C-alpha cells in the first residue's frame, strides 16, 4: 500500500471531511521551532542552542535529531486532540494491558495526564507540495503523519460501509509500532 495510491488519497480526504463535520478540525495560527528536514514542529523544551566549533555559527537545533530548526509562524488546520484527554485516560484505566510493555503504557498515560494539546495537521501547500491536498482548500496540504496514520486503515479497506466496519480486519488484534511513535 502506498500513500500515493488513489484509494488512499480518497480515504484520507474522506476521513478529513468526517473530522471536520464533527468539529474536530479548525484553522488557527501555528508557531514554533520547525525543522524542515524532520518536517516537524518542536516545543521549546525539545530544542537547544548549538555553536558550531569550526565556524562559531550559532543556531537552534532539535535535541532529538540534531537538525537545525527555525522559528516559523503559519496559519493551518488543527485537530482537537485536547477534547479526548478524559476519554483516553478512562480507556487506559479500563484497558491496562492495551500498550505493552507496561512502562510504555505508563509513559503514554503520564503524557496524556499532563494535558493534551491540539495538533497541527496541515502545512501550507507552498511549502509542502507533494502531499494530499486538504479538501476544499488548495492552500493547505494534509500533514504527512496524519496521512500515514490512516494508511493502516486504508490497507484494511477503509472507508468502510457502517455495517461492514470490521470486514477488512480492522481493528487489528495486535498492532506493532516503534516506541518513538507510541504516543
Domain that holds residue 13: 6-29+76-80+118-181
The answer to whether residue 19 is domain-embedded is yes
Segment 97-120 shows an average pLDDT of: 92
The answer to whether residue 166 is domain-embedded is yes
What pTM was computed for the model? Answer: 0.81
Residue whose C-alpha cell reads 537545525 in the numeric block: 68
Confidence of residue 36 (pLDDT cuts 50, 70, 90): confident
Q: What is the total count of domains within the chain?
A: 1
Whether residue 19 has pLDDT greater than 90? yes
The answer to whether residue 48 is domain-embedded is no
CA angle, 38 then 115 then 103, to 5°: 75
Whether residue 123 has pLDDT greater than 80? yes
Query: In percent, how much of the chain has pLDDT > 90?
Result: 60
Cα–Cα distance measured from residue 70 to residue 82, given in angstroms and rounded to the nearest whole number: 26
Cα–Cα distance measured from residue 37 to residue 69, given in angstroms and rounded to the nearest whole number: 9
Mean pLDDT of all residues in the chain? 89
Per-residue CA distances from 1 to 9, 132, 136, 142 (Å): 11, 15, 25, 18
The answer to whether residue 17 is domain-embedded is yes
The answer to whether residue 40 is domain-embedded is no
Cα–Cα distance measured from residue 179 to residue 122, given in angstroms and rounded to the nearest whole number: 24
pLDDT of 43-66, one tens digit each?
898 999 999 999 999 999 999 999
The answer to whether residue 96 is domain-embedded is no
Amino acid at each position: 500500500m502506498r500513500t500515493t495510491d488513489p484509494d488512499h488519497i480518497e480515504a484520507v480526504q474522506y476521513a478529513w471531511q468526517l473530522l471536520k463535520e464533527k468539529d474536530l478540525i479548525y484553522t488557527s495560527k501555528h508557531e514554533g521551532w520547525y525543522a524542515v528536514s524532520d518536517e516537524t514542529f518542536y516545543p521549546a523544551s525539545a530544542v537547544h542552542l548549538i555553536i558550531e566549533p569550526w565556524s562559531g555559527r550559532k543556531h537552534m537545533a532539535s535535541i532529538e535529531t540534531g537538525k537545525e530548526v527555525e522559528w516559523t509562524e503559519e496559519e493551518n488546520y488543527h485537530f482537537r486532540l485536547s477534547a479526548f484527554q478524559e476519554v483516553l485516560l478512562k480507556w487506559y484505566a479500563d484497558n491496562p494491558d492495551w500498550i505493552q510493555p507496561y512502562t510504555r503504557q505508563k509513559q503514554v498515560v503520564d503524557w496524556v495526564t499532563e494535558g493534551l494539546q491540539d495538533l497541527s495537521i496541515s502545512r501550507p501547500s507552498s511549502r509542502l507540495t507533494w502531499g494530499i491536498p486538504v479538501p476544499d482548500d488548495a492552500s493547505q496540504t494534509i500533514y504527512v503523519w496524519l496521512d500515514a496514520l490512516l494508511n493502516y486503515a486504508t490497507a484494511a479497506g477503509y472507508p468502510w460501509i457502517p455495517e461492514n466496519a470490521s470486514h477488512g480486519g480492522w481493528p487489528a488484534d495486535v498492532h506493532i509500532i516503534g516506541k518513538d511513535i507510541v504516543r
